[in-house]
Amino acid sequence: MTDDIAEGEPFAPFARWFALATESEKLPDTMTLATATRDGVPSLRAVLLKGADERGFVFYTNFDSRKAEELFANPHAALCFHWKSLGRQVRIEGTASRVTDAEADAYFGSRPRDSQIGAWASDQSRALPDRATLERRFTELSRRYAGQKTVPRPAYWSGFRVAPERIEFWQERPFRLHDRVLFTREGDTWRKTRLFP
């Protein structure tokens, strides 16, 4: 079933599509994140959406990771959701900025305790001599925090919000006559355009 996307802004249709994906996909919050170095060399990986509203799309990471290093050097980013069961895709382009410490603390506090300890144990994107090293660090940190009610958020672990400048909705149609609707930010408003497939 095709969604005609009658709205003049992209957030209501995104929320509707995401709700449908939540009912039909195993990991509906998976999005591909594309970043690039200051010189424009691209890289991409899958991350999980942890918040979405009119301010943007949020994910969390270690600030020593490659993605974070690239975003600090070049804040332009692109995201892509692909929900195969729905035959739908949403592409987002925008600028990334850090979430507030309060937001990062709140999300970190909601994570399972072992995931919190894992954030301390991993030097994300750095060379690891062997799996045993990571497991040993995790065990040591589990012991260190065993008597504490909460695990503090590492200063190097936080999130980014991608503030969208373009959001495209793509729907699969027969004979490759796909449906594409593009929203482009113009100041505080959005311009809506239909695109050839």
Contact 95, 78 (CB under 8 A): no
Catalytic, out of 16, 45, 173, 176: 176
Residue closest to 156 by CA, chosen among 181, 191, 121:
121
Is 91 one of the annotated active-site residues of the chain?
no
DSSP string, 110-121: HS-HHHHHHHHH
* Residues 27, 50, 17, 174, CA torsion sign: negative
* Residues 40, 43, 44, 48, CA torsion sign: negative
Catalytic residue annotation: 176
